[in-house]
């Protein structure tokens, strides 16, 4: 039995502890917002937060989450109010949308650590997330916009 928290809620799963966290989230917990893209930590579609750090859940054994806090795209906000979600909607970033959970989760860690990222900071932080539809120019714009929105929010 592995016990951890997902989006603040305690969960207990009875799976082989070497099972990647991704498949525990998707198949055992039926939380499908976190995506499978490569299985080798190459594309970032499976990005979630483990105690606030971005990890690729497709290669992270669930045992790594024991006792820790996992945040998935479903837990980012309750009603699309996270600055990144607002900015993503404002800039109409997604096309097919499949990679966007991972993009947003990577961007969330960037913004948490760097409230005013430059283009270079964005390139450095987001380089592990592939978008086959080619939404990169909009991702860049939306992260800047989210930083702005977050700034406004904290200024209030």
Q: What does the CA dihedral 21, 25, 27, 28 come to, rounded to 10 degrees?
A: 100
Q: Rounded CA gap, 129 and 137, in Å? A: 13
C-alpha 63/C-alpha 55 separation (Å) is 14
The set of residues, in sequence order, having a beta carbon less than 8 Å from that of 82 and lying 6+ positions away, is 76, 108
4 contributes a contact to another protein by CB under 8 A: no
Cβ closest to another protein, residue 4 vs residue 146: 146
Q: How far is CA 23 from CA 68, 88, 126, in A?
A: 17, 26, 23
CB of 70 to another protein, least distance (A): 13
Considering the complex, what minimum distance in angstroms separates the CB of residue 111 from another protein? Answer: 14
Region 91-120 residues binding another protein, contact defined as CB under 8 A: 92-101, 104
Task: Tell me: does residue 43 bind another protein (CB under 8 A).
Answer: yes
The answer to whether 72 contacts another protein (rule: CB under 8 A) is yes
Stretch that binds another protein, among 49-57, 109-117, 130-138, 147-155 (CB under 8 A): 130-138
Stretch that binds another protein, among 63-71, 110-118, 134-142, 148-156 (CB under 8 A): 134-142
Residues at the contact surface with another protein, assessed by CB under 8 A: 15-16, 19-20, 23, 26-28, 30-40, 42-43, 45, 72-74, 76-77, 80, 84-85, 88-89, 92-101, 104, 122-124, 126-127, 129-140
């Amino acid at each position: 039995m592995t016990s951890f928290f997902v989006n603040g809620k305690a969960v207990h799963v009875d799976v082989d502890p070497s099972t990647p966290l991704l498949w525990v989230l998707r198949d055992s917990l039926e939380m499908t917002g976190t995506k499978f893209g490569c299985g080798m930590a190459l594309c970032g579609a499976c990005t979630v937060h483990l105690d606030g750090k971005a990890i690729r859940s497709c290669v992270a054994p669930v045992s790594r989450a024991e006792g820790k806090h996992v945040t998935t795209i479903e837990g980012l906000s309750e009603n699309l109010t996270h600055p990144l979600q607002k900015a993503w909607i404002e800039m109409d970033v997604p096309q097919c949308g499949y990679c966007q959970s991972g993009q947003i989760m990577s961007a969330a860690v960037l913004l948490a650590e760097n409230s005013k990222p430059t283009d270079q900071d964005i390139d450095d932080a987001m380089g592990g997330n592939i978008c086959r539809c080619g939404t990169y120019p909009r991702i860049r714009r939306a992260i800047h916009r989210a930083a702005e929105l977050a700034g406004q929010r904290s200024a209030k």
